[in-house]
Amino acid sequence: MLAAMAVCADANDPLSCLVVDERADVDPPVDWVSVEVRAAALNHHDLWTLRGVATPEDTLPIVLGSDAAGVTPDGREVIVHAVVPDPGVDPQQPAALGAGLSLLSERVDGTHAPRVAVPAGNLVAKPAELSFVEAACLPTAWLTAYRMLFSCSSALPGQRVLIQGASGGVATAAIQLARAAGLHVTATSRHPQGRRLALQLGAHAAIAPGEHAPERVEAALETVGEATFGHSLRSVQPHGTVVVAGATTGAHPSAELNRLFARSLRIVGTSMGTREELAALARMLAASGVRPTVDAVYPLSEARRAYARLAAGEALGKLVLVPGSP
């Protein structure tokens, strides 16, 4: 079967390690199933794999991709929960990422192929209201945003939230989910087009990083890291929460401990989410009418074009691969 694979790792030239070529078909182990992939989204995690982060060299070559929606052998339309037990680990139902758990494409083949093998317990029913392309956008960025907002920040309708890095996949999802839940949203972006996108997605205000928010917020969602972490700390009100799920600009900001204890702030780290949260997210989208913003859909055979667009930072929304023609 045709697959987009990481065959090596190069921190400086990740696309040089991307190969789209034939690969042996999936052979699911006991208690796993083969899912026919109808759509598979790209994430920055896929570029990190090509750069040599998270994926051990001895697993290469490996099929890329953690997000997918498809059809089971018995005809069910499903969304794939991407958190799986590592090989050799007791196959209990995965929750969020942690010891003994990893994402598809880190230690087992991922979703950028016509079929993917996953634990039977990792399948979530795809609501009929969502297309396969829309559903394929949910398991990583949208699930992370859902968990940040509703499980970690405990934000309530009518409260205020600051979302850093408005054009990123997690941030754009968080803006839409927050508005659907009745939150007041302020988003940040370095670029005018990013701020315009945030407003189009429903943000009440869009500002440059470091600029004063209209009012202090109950929660700040942080995926940017060093460039914005201080701004997040300054923007939350006393007893507020900063939820961290990424550090794209660096992982070592000042902790500003005096601000933490003087204002009784909470810092909560998270990554991905549970199968139950993915199911709840899918139901929320079906009920609310909120849909992922899709930048472009490419046939699997043109995966290199999609990866190049992702690496160039040109996408405003999700990039999705489909078998055959889009």
Q: Residue 56: give its domain's CATH number.
A: 3.90.180.10
Residues 214 and 301 in one domain: no
Q: Is residue 286 domain-resident? A: no
DSSP 59: G
pLDDT score at 169: 86
Alpha helices in 151-302 (DSSP H): 169-180, 192-201, 229-235, 257-263, 275-288
pLDDT score at 93: 46
Q: Which domain holds residue 84?
A: 2-137+292-322
Q: What mean pLDDT do residues 144-166 have? A: 95
Q: Look at the chain and report how many structural domains it folds into.
A: 2
Specify the CATH number for the domain of residue 210: 3.40.50.720
Q: Does residue 325 surpass a pLDDT of 90? A: no
Q: Is residue 284 domain-resident? A: no
Give the tens place of pLDDT for each residue, 57-113: 888 999 999 999 999 999 999 999 999 987 666 555 445 555 568 899 999 999 999
Give the tens place of pLDDT for each residue, 176-220: 999 999 999 999 999 898 899 999 999 999 999 999 988 999 999
Residues 21 and 6 in one domain: yes
Residues 35 and 113 in one domain: yes
Residues 77 and 123 in one domain: yes
pLDDT score at 316: 78
Residues 191 and 296 in one domain: no
Residues 128 and 145 in one domain: no
Give the tens place of pLDDT for each residue, 21-64: 999 999 999 889 999 999 999 999 999 999 998 778 888 999 99
Q: Is residue 6 domain-resident? A: yes
Residues 98 and 168 in one domain: no
Residues 212 and 313 in one domain: no
Q: Does residue 285 surpass a pLDDT of 60? A: yes
